[in-house]
Chains A and B, each alone.
Chain A
Amino acid sequence: MMVSITGDAGEPAAAPRGGRARTGSWPAAVPLLAFTALAFGIPAVALVLGAFTVRDPQTRTSAFSTSNLVESLQGNYLATLVSSVQLSAVVALLGAVLGAFLAQAVVTSRFRSLRESVLTASGVLANFGGVPLAFTWVATLGNSGVLTQALGLGEYGWSLYTFWGLVVVYMYFSIPLMVLVMVPAMDGLKPQWREAAGNSGATAWQYWRHVGIPVLAPALLGGTVLLFGSAFAAYATARAMVGSTVPLVTLQIADALTGDVLIGHENIALALSLDMIVVAALVMAVYLPLQRRSSRWLR
């Protein structure tokens, strides 16, 4: 048992056992790497290969082709993709603005308990997506929902199963997500800056325009991107709520996957998925560097 406890790695005199613990520990990571290659890598490769493959229904042969991707960027398929991007963009911008206002109201509040409870509730609500969210809103503002009936909203042409209905529902997890991103960043705004601006004769608007918003910019932009990504990927809420009345790319992929396509066009789901990944990756390429910059505030 000649193991030396040393802080610095790579000491040549280290005993074999100590050395193994230090330099040879990588095999412990092999299971995770192998699992990811298997459970994530294989589907990913299959997705990309399939998106570039066309299968002839008569001869049952497959051939390399870009026609799936071309088709996925045309007509009805393109419309769903555009509609999804629009929905996500509206949700992201609206959610970012409203979330920032709520965060500002919470941060400037004197009541510690209000702040704590809003943050806890945000943590919970930001994770509240999927099927239960859809049914909660259907019960509230759906065709036979409590509020719809009580206020007679149907007569004013209100319907939850529309683009703007989805926006209203998606706000329910987007605003809390934005609050979680913005509160730590807003805590970083020093009151002295505001005082300095005020004493120099700046109005509230000038303070925000030249001091507050530039300082908060990484968090604001990062949060907006995060909201975009979560709205773009959302499927369960839309499926449980609107069925297919609002064209969305996630709904379209699900339909294509479960056989609602022409024979020989089965791989259109894969091409649409690839489109989605490209959009999500582009958006995340903006987000990740920002997140790294503002992560010291986030946790």
Chain B
Amino acid sequence: MAAVTPILPTGTADPAAPAPASSPSSRPRRMRLWRGVVLGAAAVYFLVPMAASFWFTVHSEQRGFSLATYGEILTAEGFATSMLLSLALAAATIVVVLALTLPALLAVRLGASGLRPVLEVICTIPLVVPPITFVTGISTVLRWGPDYLATTPFWATLIAIQDETFPVVLVLAYVVLALPFVYRSLDAGLRAIDVRTLVEAARNLGASWPHVMFRVIIPNLRSAIASASFLALALVLGEYTVAALLGYQTFPVWIVTISGANGRLSVAVSILSLLITWLLLLILSGAGAKRKDSQ
């Protein structure tokens, strides 16, 4: 803090003499106290709900301490189907969003740089538009179907994407919602490698475009693709608004559905889904830190 003191033309032999040092030493102490209060309050605010909700699931007046609630989850009705649906939707979303975004970003890097502003706008809009308004638009389109499309071949398509067992319409929505996150992590990954040289070298050696894509570009982007996929997975596993309003029983919708009948179970599932999401995001940030270290 007092690093500049040696320059000062002080008359005393020792600049850290008691008299001038009184204010520098009291300020750090006050700041340390202040810092402790802030950090302590934050710790209480962020940790207590975790601990309390865990206590809520394992303790009851009648039964005392028991972990039985967590055992119930696996056998609870609707858990397996809703979880499988969410995982399938997540897998489809990840595949589609990567297949759409990666070629577009490569195109921008390899020459069509005029498209960059367009992509930036496309990948920012989903952040600005609240998801609930997006659902409103989607459900309007789906409602228009019977009025305008009943006699055209689009009608069959519209019915097909609303299939209960695998609602493609949710994949469409989730891809749009995931675009900003996927775009950012892939763009950061591409910035770290010299795409043009890699592509030109591979093409000069006679590699086909699919070969370039799968054997050159994708291996070099492994960690960026992994982080994009993790973010998309976390997004789909936690997404409630779109699925609930379009009437599909995904995992978060299921948690709300059971909360009426079994509050303890819904809290236990919430904690579990939190832990899963955190694990995903911690792996993600761990991978990011490792990448930074190696550079």
**Chain B residues near A258 (CB, 8 Å)?**
245
Q: Is the CB of B176 within 8 A of A136?
A: no
**Within the assembled complex, what's the spacing in Å between the Cα atoms of A196 and B111?**
48
Interface size on A, residues (CB 8 A): 92
**Within the assembled complex, what's the spacing in Å between the Cα atoms of A130 and B213?**
37
Given known A29-B103, A250-B132, contact A108–B31 (CB-CB < 8 A): yes
Q: Is the CB of A46 within 8 A of B141?
A: yes
Contact indicator per residue, chain A 15-41, by CB within 8 Å of chain B (1) or not (0): 001100111111111011101101110
**Within the assembled complex, what's the spacing in Å between the Cα atoms of A118 and B244?**
33
A115 to chain B, nearest CB (A): 11
**Within the assembled complex, what's the spacing in Å between the Cα atoms of A120 and B283?**
11
**Chain A residues near B259 (CB, 8 Å)?**
135, 240
Q: Is the CB of B136 within 8 A of A269?
A: yes
Quick check: is B57 within 8 A (CB to CB) of the other chain?
yes
Quick check: is B220 within 8 A (CB to CB) of the other chain?
no
| Contacting residue for B111 out of A22, A33, A233, CB 8 A | A22
**Within the assembled complex, what's the spacing in Å between the Cα atoms of A232 and B197?**
45
**Chain B residues near A217 (CB, 8 Å)?**
none
CB-based nearest A residue for B205: A1
Quick check: is B83 within 8 A (CB to CB) of the other chain?
no
| Contacting residue for B176 out of A9, A39, A281, CB 8 A | A39
List CB contacts (< 8 Å) of A169-210 with chain B. Answer: 171-172, 175, 191-192, 194-196, 199, 204
Quick check: is B261 within 8 A (CB to CB) of the other chain?
no
Quick check: is A70 within 8 A (CB to CB) of the other chain?
no
**Chain B residues near A27 (CB, 8 Å)?**
107
**Within the assembled complex, what's the spacing in Å between the Cα atoms of A199 and B138?**
61
Quick check: is A5 within 8 A (CB to CB) of the other chain?
yes
| Contacting residue for A191 out of B1, B50, B100, B103, CB 8 A | B1
Q: Is the CB of A25 within 8 A of B126?
A: no
List CB contacts (< 8 Å) of A144-192 with chain B. Answer: 144-147, 171-172, 175, 191-192
**Chain B residues near A195 (CB, 8 Å)?**
1-4
| Contacting residue for B122 out of A3, A36, A47, A146, CB 8 A | A36
Contact indicator per residue, chain A 239-262, by CB within 8 Å of chain B (1) or not (0): 110000000001001100110000
Given known A131-B255, A146-B52, A233-B131, contact A139–B282 (CB-CB < 8 A): no
**Within the assembled complex, what's the spacing in Å between the Cα atoms of A150 and B269?**
23
Could you list 16 examples of A-B contacts with CB < 8 Å? A5-B197, A26-B112, A32-B119, A33-B118, A104-B38, A130-B238, A130-B239, A132-B274, A135-B53, A135-B267, A140-B52, A172-B46, A236-B241, A236-B244, A239-B240, A258-B245
Given known A32-B101, A39-B175, A139-B56, contact A127–B241 (CB-CB < 8 A): no
